[in-house]
Amino acid sequence: MNLSSIRKLYFLGIGGIGMSAIARYFLDEGVEIYGYDIAETKLTKKLVEEGMDIHYDIDVDKIPDDIDAVVMTPAIPDHNAELVKIRELDYPLYKRAEVLGLLSKAKTTIAIAGTHGKTTTSSIVAQILTYCGLDITAFLGGILVEQHSNFIKGQSDTIVLEADEYDRSFLHLHPHILAVLSMDADHLDIYENVDNMYAAYEQLCRQIQNGGTLIIDSKWLKYFSDTFLDDLSRSNVSIIDASKDFSFDNIEVVDNRYTFNYTGSRGKIENIVTQLPGLHNISNTSVAISVALHYTQDIDKVKDSIREFKGIKRRFEWIYDEEKVLVDDYAHHPEELRYAVSTINELYPDKVILGIFQPHLYTRTNDFYRGFADELSKLDKVILMPIYPAREEPIEGVCSEMIYNLIPIDDKWVVDSGSNMLKKIEEIDADIVMTIGAADLDKYHSDIIKILKDKTQ
């Protein structure tokens, strides 16, 4: 694809968080944007307001004429009638990751990889660099609370993006700086086993540009081949060990906000205040600082940028914070759930906490239902929603009851719909409500807030 000659693009699955960021990039470049998605959402409404033409029914007649190329999400099934027609018409067809690879090919690319924390860490990197005056472009996996967007358009040669392991998408990237946050098992429906996943991460690390930098905790290197370190050395790639080369300490919670110190080879920053809760986010912020200090040495501005960062929607986002509290978190893996639950317990140790969890994907539930149950059991009360299928067909016998049966607390319920979930909240006495999962629980927030307000009147 010759990016400079593109005038009209069609997106299959335009409402996805990664797809929409790319669509926004091209719209900003003056390209006509058309697209299909399965349902209207807050995000697709915003895209239409920005000037995109989107429909929500599968209709081959709505595929525009004379499009230069089609961008598709890997979540679109092969039998989708529009995809079948596009192939018949022989339009150039690209996966989202291929386009992102093309966009980043001619740029200096900062990529954040890992099972958890990609969106938060890449967003903090983008926040620090823009705050410090670098005119970067960023493609993010979440909606920034302040900017109301997952895309930042800049004019410099630097791009910040997430290196997504799903469908091995990140192997289209050749970053200059790569941070690998974690390599816990996930997407085993794609990789079949964890060793194949490790091999994909190793390949990504090998694709770092000559003279580039890899930031990774050395504990993960044992899963790579014996020649890995020597091969990177021959490519003049420097390795920053996240367990030794920088650190954070002096952690305190003041008025429900965390403060900490950062120490690394490029500088020390004391009394950093962050609006992002949890030790995991302090860790993510420290990685982001380590990345950013390759580009700026203005310690005061780095510190100020972190204090001013308001976070990402659905990443431990305070939705309602009065006498009763509603928090939303995107956690959809046992490790992410552990972070979210431990954080809410740490911030509100004397409060009754109700967690509402909606499992995301049948395959993930089948792989991790025991881990989900272990983490949810650390809450006071739990409501389980039906599994959100997203791109998947049901798997016989896989259901939310698998999790429910392993939670050892008494105050637990399985509901079959959003309306019944809301009725259950009305019956339950809790100080803190936390919606958890990567699906669409956020569409119930206004109803939950009304219930919480009614309980305090």
CB distance 96 to 16 below 8 Å: yes
DSSP letter string, 223-240: GS-TTHHHHHHHTT-EEE
267, 294, 311 from 307: Cα distances, Å: 18, 20, 10
Query: Angle 372-373-377 (CA atoms, 0-180°, nearest 5)?
Result: 120
Q: Which two tokens stand for residue 405?
A: 């049966």
Q: What is the mean pLDDT of each run of 10 residues along the chain (457 residues)?
A: 86 93 95 94 93 96 95 89 96 93 88 92 96 94 87 93 88 96 80 91 96 96 95 96 94 85 93 89 96 94 94 87 93 90 90 96 94 97 94 90 97 96 96 93 94 91
pLDDT at 280: 85
pLDDT at 55: 97
pLDDT at 247: 95
CB distance 364 to 335 below 8 Å: no
pLDDT at 239: 96
Tell me the C-alpha distance between 384 and 392, whole Å: 19
Neighbours of 69 (CB within 10 A): 18
Domain annotation for the chain: domains and CATH numbers: 3-94 (3.40.50.720), 107-308 (3.40.1190.10), 317-456 (3.90.190.20)
Q: Are strands 108-113 and 158-163 parallel, antiparallel or unpaired?
A: parallel
